[in-house]
């Protein structure tokens, strides 16, 4: 049924819970996982604004910060890859830049996944909303089934 799953992660507790559910889905036919980390454009814009106020060379510093964030994201993806491979799944990892909910849907279409599995809330973990803004957008606009793992 679901052979290829997109697993976007921000490394939050609920995304780790989604990872555990994903590993359990191997018995239901899941064979390949596309693990995705999106570096948020809003974060870069905030950093750029702060740097501009300090009077430093924004472009060079932003390039350094972005490269550092990319490297950190790839390092953080390695344990996820190892965990999924140990569970008997094939894994493709991607680190992208952009607006998370938009990139998730773009990658889902590019990779032609069977479904998307994600946590109900990301790092912001706003307790006042039923769903996080990213998961809500993905649910509303995805062309494939979305499996949402709720937080405890």
Q: Output the pLDDT for position 127.
A: 44
Provide the residue-wise pLDDT of the chain in tens; the chain has 152 residues.
789 999 999 998 889 999 999 999 988 889 999 999 999 877 776 676 666 666 666 667 777 878 888 899 999 999 999 999 999 999 999 999 999 999 999 999 999 999 999 988 654 544 434 456 888 899 999 999 999 998 77
State which CATH number among 3.40.50.620, 3.10.350.10, 3.30.465.10, 3.40.50.11540 fits the domain covering 4-39+78-149: 3.40.50.620
Give me the phi and psi of 111, to 5 degrees please.
Answer: -85, -10
Global pTM?
Answer: 0.85
Q: Which two tokens stand for residue 69?
A: 């964030």
Q: Output the pLDDT for position 1.
A: 76
What distance in Å separates the CA atoms of residue 132 and residue 88, rounded to the nearest whole number? Answer: 30
What distance in Å separates the CA atoms of residue 91 and residue 23, rounded to the nearest whole number? Answer: 12
Q: What share of the chain is helix, strand, coil (3-state, %, to 5)?
A: 55, 20, 25
Give residue 83's Cα distance to chain centre.
16
């Amino acid at each position: 049924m679901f052979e290829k799953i997109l697993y976007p992660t921000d490394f939050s507790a609920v995304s780790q819970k989604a990872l555990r559910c994903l590993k359990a889905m191997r018995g239901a036919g899941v064979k390949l996982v596309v693990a995705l980390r999106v570096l948020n454009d809003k974060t870069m814009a905030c950093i750029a604004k702060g740097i501009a106020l300090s009077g430093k060379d924004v472009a060079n510093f932003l390039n350094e910060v972005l490269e550092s964030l990319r490297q950190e994201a790839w390092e953080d993806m390695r344990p996820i890859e190892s965990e999924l491979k140990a569970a008997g799944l094939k894994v493709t990892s991607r680190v992208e830049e952009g607006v998370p909910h938009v990139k998730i849907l773009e990658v889902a279409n590019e990779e032609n996944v069977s479904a998307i599995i994600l946590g109900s809330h990301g790092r912001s973990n706003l307790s006042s909303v039923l769903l996080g803004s990213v998961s809500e957008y993905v649910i509303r606009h995805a062309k494939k089934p979305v499996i949402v793992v709720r937080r405890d």
